[in-house]
């Protein structure tokens, strides 16, 4: 992945992909104190467009604030950097990875006197999930790993170190023959997937966990808005795993996962065991919006040719 053509935005300049390197004593590499985003550009009629760019950048700044990391660049600079890397790498559909990390001036946990660096990488990324998964849904297990407690990790921050927990959960799920994990919060209520928010549908009403121990997902917010525009009721509340077992439909949302049906949870078939009608409708709307095929929500798209 490191040895390839292309450019990465690194501290204000575009550098060749192969040369975008850091020292082994980079502080963030040791303790995981860093913040990042996962952003996506989709092909639209007028070329590649970044979906909800400003919202992702806003969350990056919030994550940095929570972690008390100084941000050396403005939001405008980072928005422009994201458009630039998609353009310069000539990408049509892309994943973008902005990340803020500490330099290698010292190893102390006080994290004093450290420089803060920012990269924005981007690569071609047509889809994370197969078309079959988007239609048939995926198998999920409730994780034996608990999601972060709000006073152990900072759940509102998309912080590098938080993802150790996600990786343990996802690897366990895959070992169990599943595609994704459902993590419960420390009190035992449904929190989210390893890198997705979760919704269940019962009697035509959508339910999703409150933003306590799950990430404030941008796809979650998008889907809530689209669902309400369709006239569906969306309720944010505590959800138990057995409520999920008996849901009519369940799905994950995320920049990578998009709107992804859950077919089974812990071996129990959810609804009909494939994408349900409300999930299908919202998934269809989501794809229309991200590809700029809908007249609504054009303001969510940022044309990468804008300089
Ligand atoms: N939860 C976690 C833990 C995540 O990593 C992600 C992906 N960023 C999400 C939820 C979904 O967030 P978004 O829709 O903003 O991608």
CA-closest residue to ligand 1 atom 9: 196
158 is catalytic: yes
Task: Give distance in angstroms: CA of 55 to centre of ligand 1.
Answer: 13
Task: Give distance in angstroms: CA of 218 to centre of ligand 1.
Answer: 7
Digit-by-digit pLDDT tens for the chain (307 residues) are: 999 999 999 999 999 999 999 999 999 999 999 999 999 999 999 999 999 999 999 999 999 999 999 999 999 999 999 999 999 999 999 999 999 999 999 999 999 999 999 999 999 998 878 899 999 999 999 999 999 999 999 999 999 999 999 999 999 999 999 999 999 999 999 999 999 999 999 999 999 999 999 999 999 999 999 999 999 999 999 999 999 999 999 999 999 999 999 999 999 999 999 999 999 999 999 999 999 999 999 999 999 998 8
Angle at 10 between CA 18 and CA 159, to 5 degrees: 105
Task: Give distance in angstroms: CA of 216 to centre of ligand 1.
Answer: 7
Q: Which of 38, 99, 154 to mutate to test the pocket of ligand 1 (most atoms within 8 A of CB)?
A: 38
Overall pTM surpassing 0.95 (yes/no): yes
**Residues with a CB atom less than 6 Å from ligand 1:** 38, 158, 166, 192, 195-197, 214-215, 217-220, 253-255
Q: Topology of domain 131-290, per CATH?
A: D-amino Acid Aminotransferase; Chain A, domain 2 (3.20.10)
Domain ranges of the chain: 7-124, 131-290
**CATH class (in words) of the domain with range 7-124:** alpha beta
């Amino acid at each position: 992945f490191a040895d390839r053509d292309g450019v990465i935005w690194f501290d204000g300049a575009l550098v060749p992909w192969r040369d975008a390197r850091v020292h082994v004593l980079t502080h963030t590499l040791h303790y995981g104190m860093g913040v990042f985003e996962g952003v996506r550009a989709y092909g639209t009629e007028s070329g590649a467009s970044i979906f909800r760019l400003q919202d992702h950048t806003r969350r990056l700044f919030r994550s940095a604030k929570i972690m008390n990391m100084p941000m050396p660049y403005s939001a405008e600079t980072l928005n422009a950097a994201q458009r630039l890397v998609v353009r310069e790498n000539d990408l049509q559909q892309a994943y973008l990875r902005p990340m803020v990390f500490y330099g290698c001036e010292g190893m102390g946990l006080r994290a004093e006197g450290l420089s803060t660096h920012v990269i924005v990488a981007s690569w071609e990324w047509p889809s994370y999930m197969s078309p079959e998964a988007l239609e048939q849904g995926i198998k999920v297990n409730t994780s034996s790993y608990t999601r972060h407690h709000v006073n152990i990790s900072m759940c509102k921050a998309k912080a590098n170190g938080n993802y150790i927990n996600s990786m343990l959960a996802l690897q366990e799920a895959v070992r169990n023959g599943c595609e994704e994990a459902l993590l419960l919060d420390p009190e035992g209520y449904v929190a989210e997937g390893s890198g997705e928010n979760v919704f269940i549908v019962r009697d035509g009403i959508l339910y999703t966990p409150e933003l306590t121990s799950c990430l404030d997902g941008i796809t979650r917010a998008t889907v809530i808005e689209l669902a309400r525009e369709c006239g569906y009721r969306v309720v944010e509340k505590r959800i138990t795993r057995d409520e999920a077992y008996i849901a009519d439909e369940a799905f994950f949302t995320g920049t990578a996962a998009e709107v992804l049906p859950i077919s089974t949870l812990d071996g129990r078939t959810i609804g009909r065991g494939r994408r349900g009608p409300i999930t299908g409708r919202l998934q269809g709307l989501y794809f229309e919006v991200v590809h700029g095929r809908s007249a609504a929500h054009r303001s969510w798209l940022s044309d990468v040719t804008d300089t």
